[in-house]
Amino acid sequence: MNLRKKIAYAGRHFTPTWRYGFNLKSTMAYLFDHTVANDEAARILSELNQNGIAISSVDKLLPDSSLFAEMCREVEQLEQAFADRLAEARMAANQDTESLKTFIFKLLGEVPVLDPQSVYARFALQQEILHIANSYFGMFTQLRYYNVWHTLASQSRARESQLWHRDREDHLILKLFVYFADVDEGAGPFTYAPGTHRKGAIKREPETFVEKGVQRWQDEKMIPIVPENKWIKALGKKGDIVFADTRGCHKGGLARTSDRLLYTCLFTSPTSQVSELFDRSKQFPIPADKSQAFALTRG
C-alpha cells in the first residue's frame, strides 16, 4: 500500500474524518431530518452501542408483520424451485474443498439485483429498520446488500466465515439476520464477542492467521480477549431479528445437525469503499422519503 492509500485508509478509519469529512452530507442531513424511535428500537440501539449486537423479533419491532409473511412465502417458493441445486450444494458442502463458502447457498444469486419493489428491499427499507441503522451510524446510511442464505449442515472442517473474523467494508457496519426457521445450537448460530466493535471498550486484537486474504482466528485465540461465557450466540425462533455491527469479532454458519435459513441485509455509510454488492443495471425512481432515498442512492 503506497503512502497516499495509507493516508486515505487512516482517514476513513478515524471517526471525525470518516463522519465529518467523507460523510458530512449524510451526517448533516440526518441531524436535521430523522425520526423518533419506538421503545423496542431504543432498546436495540442501546444494546448495539454497548455490545455491538442486539436481538429482537418481527412481532416486537415492526407494527406490521405482513412484509415478513410475504417474504416467507417467496422464500418457500425459491426453496422449491432450487430443490435440485440445493441437493447438489449439500453434497459439495460435505466435501473439504477450497471452494468459497460451499456451506451457504444464496437463493438470490451471488450478486442480487437491487429492486426497490421486491419484498427483500421493502423489508430493509421499513422506517423502523432504517431508523436503527441511521441512528447507530449517526447519518443516513446506504443499503448495500440483501439476500437469502440457506446454510447447509455438514461435517466439513470449520473455514471462512465459520471462523472468527471482522468485516472490513466500513468504519461501522450493520447487518441484519432474520430467521425463517428456528435456529438452535446445531444450526450454526451467529456468534459475537460483545464489546469488540469500534464503539466498544475492548481494543485488544487476537492473534490471527490469513485465509484467502482475510484475517481469521480460532476459538482459543478469542478466549483471552473475550471469555467464552461472554460470547453472545444468536439462538432464536422464526421471525427473530439479529442486528450486529460486524466490524466486531464474530463467526457463524457452522451448522452440524440442521440447516439455517435466513434473510440478511447490510447497511454502511454512503462513502464505503467496498466494491458494489448489487447489480444496479435496472433504473428505478428514487423515493420521496429522504432516508429511503439515501439508502438506495450510490455515489
- CATH number of 236's domain: 2.60.120.620
Q: What whole-number distance in Å separates Cα of residue 274 and Cα of residue 27?
A: 19
Task: Write b or e for each residue in 61-72: b if 16 or more Cβ atoms lie within 10 A of its Cβ, otherwise e.
Answer: bbeeeebbeebb
Residue 18 DSSP class: I
How many domains does the chain contain in total? 1
Residues 6+ apart with CB under 8 A from 104: 149, 150, 151, 152, 253
What is the domain range of residue 189? Answer: 3-296
Question: Which amino acid is located at 255 in the chain?
Answer: A
Q: Of 263, 279, 278, whose CA–CA distance to 79 is shortest?
A: 263
pLDDT for position 95: 73
Helix then strand then coil, % of the chain, to nearest 5 = 35, 20, 45
Buried b (16+ CB within 10 A) or exposed e, 105-116: bebbeeebebbb
Q: State the pLDDT at residue 99.
A: 53
* Whole-number pLDDT of residue 156: 85
Place of cell 430493509: 124
Q: For cell 433504473, what's the residue?
A: 283
Q: Going by DSSP bridges, is the β-strand pair 250-251/260-268 parallel, antiparallel, or unpaired?
A: unpaired
pTM across the whole model? 0.93
The count of other CB atoms within 10 Å of the CB of residue 198 is 17
pLDDT for the residue 146: 98
pLDDT of residue 94: 77
pLDDT in tens, the chain (299 residues): 443 443 344 445 568 999 999 999 999 999 998 777 789 999 999 999 999 999 999 999 999 999 999 999 999 999 999 999 999 998 888 775 555 567 899 999 999 999 999 999 999 999 999 999 999 999 999 999 999 999 999 888 888 899 999 998 899 999 999 999 999 999 999 999 999 999 999 999 999 999 888 899 999 999 999 999 999 999 999 999 999 999 999 999 999 999 999 999 999 999 998 888 999 988 899 999 999 999 999 86
